[in-house]
Structure 1
Amino acid sequence: MADRILFLRIGMDLGFGGLGPLFPDGTFEYVPIPDNPTKTSSRTLVFSQVPCRSAVDIEQFVPAKYRNGPAHLDPEFETFTYGDPTPNKRGQLLRLSCGDILVFYAGLRPQEQRQGSRLFLIGYFTIANAYAVTATDGWPPTSLRHLWNNAHLRRNACDPGLVVVQGSPDGSRLLRIAVPLSDDRQAVLPEMERRLGITGSVKRAGAGRWIPGTHVTSVARWLYSLEASNGDQRESSN
């Protein structure tokens, strides 16, 4: 059972000029942010290699200036890894232990909508392990081959301070149906305030939001109940 639940914002946002699409039936595409072109390697993904569930490729949902460039697919839902080297988030990731839950939310909007956006839950990991990653045995480290799918380990060098968490395959998934989290001002919806125990804005991506201890058990049960309505959705491409 989880002792901690952390909510993190991920994915394409208006800072890069785009958002993931939300379709009329509630399904969506998880569109990653662009990667830093100075940090790429031969293993770095480009957007044409990113899995897409609704169309031939995901590039049609990527702003034109980034469409042919590198993609920072983090988290990834094939081997269930997520990494971050920045002080706030790496510290939060290091507090996660086996059985804790890392929840991902992203900005989405219908394709025909040109202004505004809302935030939606799109997936989660049940944590198996957390790793402080270094390049002491080469890059990427052969001892961490099970993390090589992560976007940070696809780069040309180790990001200082990098922490990568891995979810258990049986307890981690990309949802099929997006779950509304915020209004169009990126403030937590009233019903989600009651369910999650958090209030205010969830717009910023610089650090995650912890679920209060009083709500962890009920939120964990609710998250796992989403499997029934969403189906057991794993990342796939057409």
Structure 2
Amino acid sequence: MSGNIYVVNVGTNASHPFCSPIFEDGTFEFIPIPEDRQLEGVHGVKYRDLRSFYRPTEDLSKYIPDRFMDITTHNDPEFDSLTYGDNCDINARAQALKSVKRGDFLLFLARLQKYIKNGLEVTPTSEFGFYFVGFLHVDSVYMSVTNPLSALEMEAINLNAHVRRAMTDNSLWDSFWVFCGSSWSRRFEKAVPVTKKLCCEVFTSADGSPWSWDNGRTELQTIGSYTRTCRCAINPSSPEGQKRYAVLWDWINRFS
């Protein structure tokens, strides 16, 4: 595996009143952001429909406020059929993904909240961190989708959140892109911590310079600011890129 690595920030963040939980053993549940509108009918996935990765008969209601349980969630990425979608044509944050090709990686980064065991229950702490939660090894890309595709193509992408939106409202075939993962893609069993040390070893700014950590922001804020926009984080075509590529995958294999 030697494709470019794009880091994509996903899931609920500091602007939402709840957060994906991570537990003391490194396991976690991924909670996506709310949709920007309520999607009724069979294509809308509500928060009450989300299931535990480890215990599929259980929902995630203990981590989500009651008032959100009947709200539609933008369940993206989804790891059942291995897809991720974005509005790469119009969303400045995602425009770099227009360069993604077969064999590249979308490495998903999420902000998680630490939970600790308290008797038979788990309770949230005030500690948050960024973690890698999975990746797509890109097998195919559907670009600028403005209409339903062929039946075979729709079968590959019909679980994606952008497709679900469009199937409830024709105006939402809005030139979105969908990335489909190969069988190498996976949602991690355990979240992979994204630390200052790791970032200094494997990531650079868009101009190739090291990240700046001495600007009055916390480490969490610094990581969030540098990963807010999707971009190619590692190109392994150069010796330096190969070195950073190897360090990153070694780190992922160590924790996931």
- Give the TM interval when normalised to the shorter protein: 0.7 to 0.9
CA distance in 2, matches of 1:24, 1:228: 16
Residues 88 and 206 of structure 1 are in contact (CA less than 8 Å); yes or no, is this contact kept in structure 2?
Answer: no
* Equivalences for residues 1-238 of structure 1 within 5 A: 1-54=1-54, 56-85=58-87, 86-111=90-115, 112-136=123-147, 138=148, 142=151, 143-155=153-165, 156-157=168-169, 158-169=172-183, 171-182=184-195, 189-197=196-204, 199-200=211-212, 201-204=222-225, 206-213=228-235, 214=238, 216-221=241-246, 226=252, 230=256
Counterpart of 1:168, as a letter, is: S
Residues 124 and 172 of structure 1 are in contact (CA less than 8 Å); yes or no, is this contact kept in structure 2?
Answer: yes
Gaps of 5+ in 1: 183-188, 231-238
CA RMSD of aligned residues (A): 2.6
Residues 145 and 177 of structure 2 are in contact (CA less than 8 Å); yes or no, is this contact kept in structure 1?
Answer: no
> Could you tell me how far 1:227 is from its partner in structure 2?
5.1
> Could you tell me how far 1:133 is from its partner in structure 2?
4.1
> Could you tell me how far 1:50 is from its partner in structure 2?
1.8
Percent identity between matched residues is 22
Count the aligned residue pairs.
Answer: 221
CA distance in 2, matches of 1:79, 1:228: 26
How has the CA–CA distance of structure 1 residues 54 and 144 changed in structure 2, closer, same or farther, with 3 Å as cutoff?
closer
Which residue number in structure 1 is paired with residue 215 of structure 2? none
How has the CA–CA distance of structure 1 residues 109 and 18 changed in structure 2, closer, same or farther, with 3 Å as cutoff?
same
Counterpart of 1:28, as a letter, is: F
How has the CA–CA distance of structure 1 residues 227 and 6 changed in structure 2, closer, same or farther, with 3 Å as cutoff?
same
**TM-score, normalisation: structure 1:** 0.80
**TM-score, normalisation: structure 2:** 0.75
Residues 119 and 180 of structure 1 are in contact (CA less than 8 Å); yes or no, is this contact kept in structure 2?
Answer: yes
Residues 35 and 72 of structure 1 are in contact (CA less than 8 Å); yes or no, is this contact kept in structure 2?
Answer: yes
Residues 97 and 231 of structure 2 are in contact (CA less than 8 Å); yes or no, is this contact kept in structure 1?
Answer: no
**Rg larger in structure:** 2
SS of residue matched to 1:164: strand
> Could you tell me how far 1:160 is from its partner in structure 2?
1.8
Residues 94 and 130 of structure 1 are in contact (CA less than 8 Å); yes or no, is this contact kept in structure 2?
Answer: no
> Could you tell me how far 1:104 is from its partner in structure 2?
0.3
How has the CA–CA distance of structure 1 residues 46 and 206 changed in structure 2, closer, same or farther, with 3 Å as cutoff?
same
> Could you tell me how far 1:126 is from its partner in structure 2?
0.7
> Could you tell me how far 1:4 is from its partner in structure 2?
1.6
Counterpart of 2:9, as a letter, is: R
Residues 93 and 163 of structure 1 are in contact (CA less than 8 Å); yes or no, is this contact kept in structure 2?
Answer: no
Residues 3 and 216 of structure 1 are in contact (CA less than 8 Å); yes or no, is this contact kept in structure 2?
Answer: no
How has the CA–CA distance of structure 1 residues 218 and 51 changed in structure 2, closer, same or farther, with 3 Å as cutoff?
farther
> Could you tell me how far 1:209 is from its partner in structure 2?
3.8
How has the CA–CA distance of structure 1 residues 141 and 15 changed in structure 2, closer, same or farther, with 3 Å as cutoff?
farther
How has the CA–CA distance of structure 1 residues 113 and 42 changed in structure 2, closer, same or farther, with 3 Å as cutoff?
closer
Moved more, 127-136 or 26-35: 127-136
How has the CA–CA distance of structure 1 residues 91 and 206 changed in structure 2, closer, same or farther, with 3 Å as cutoff?
same
Residues 136 and 186 of structure 2 are in contact (CA less than 8 Å); yes or no, is this contact kept in structure 1?
Answer: yes
